[in-house]
Amino acid sequence: MHSTAPPGAFLAEELAARKIRPRDIDAGAGWCRGTTKRLIKGAVRVDQSIADGLAIALGTPASTWLVLQRQWDDRPPPDVMAVHNWASNAHMLADLFRIMAPPDGRWCDLTHGTGRWWKSSVNPAPDGMVRCVGPGTANPAPHDVVTDFRATPFADDAFAVTAYDPPYVLKGSDAQFATMAASYGIDDAHGITLDQIVDVNLAKRVKRGIITDGTTSGRGGA
C-alpha cells in the first residue's frame, strides 16, 4: 500500500477545507514560523514530533500523519524523476539514493559550485568527495579543487562516481549566460557546447556510473 501524494499535499487540502493559515498551524504546534509551509512543499518529513504537532494543532491522530509519510516513502519509483516534484535537488537525490543505493568508491562533483545537491540535513555529501569549483569562484574553500569543469586535471577513471550538473543554457540572453557563468565560476558560459560536455566529462571521467542533472546511468561497468 502506498500513497500517491506526500503528506504535505494532504495537509494543504486540510488547511484549505478548514480555512486555516499555515502560520496558525505553526503557532498551534509550537513550531518556528514557516515550518508548515516547508512541510507542505515537502522540505520537512513527518516524524513523530511533526505528527504530534499536527495532532495538537488539527485534532487529528498523530498516527494518521505517520502512516501517510510511511506510505509515501514506500511508493514505487517513478519512471522519470523531475526536480520540480521535490523541494530541491538535494531532496530529489535523497529520494533517488533511497531507491538506488549510491555506489561505493571515490566520488567527485565536477560542478559542485555552492553545493546545492548536497545539504547535510537532507542529502549529505559522500565522505571524502572531491569538490570542483570554477576558476571564477569567489573565496573557494580550502578543500575545493579550482578548475574549469571542461578541462579537469584528473586522470581517466579517477573516480567511481562523478556528480555532474553542467550549465544548461545553450541559447539565451546575455543576462542568462552571465548568471550561468557566475553559478559555475567560469568566465564565459557562451563557449560551452554539448560536445564538450559529453566528450570531456561523461565519456572520460567516469568509471562505474554518473549522476547527471538528477538521473543516473551506468557507464563502463556496474
What would the pLDDT profile of 135-173 be if each residue is shown by its tens digit?
A: 777 788 888 988 877 677 888 778 888 887 766 555 667
Which ranges in the chain are annotated with CATH 3.40.50? 83-218
CATH superfamily of 7-73: lambda repressor-like DNA-binding domains (1.10.260.40)
Supply the pLDDT for residue 210: 44
What CATH number labels 83-218?
A: 3.40.50
Identify the residue with better confidence: 112 or 77.
112
Percent of the chain with pLDDT over 90: 27
Supply the pLDDT for residue 43: 86
Q: pLDDT digit string (tens) for 13-42?
A: 999 999 999 999 999 999 999 999 999 988
Q: Out of 44-48, 135-139, 185-189, 197-201, pick the least confident.
A: 197-201
pTM above 0.85, yes or no: no
Which ranges in the chain are annotated with CATH 1.10.260.40? 7-73
Supply the pLDDT for residue 149: 74
How far apart CA 8 and CA 186 sit, in angstroms, is 38
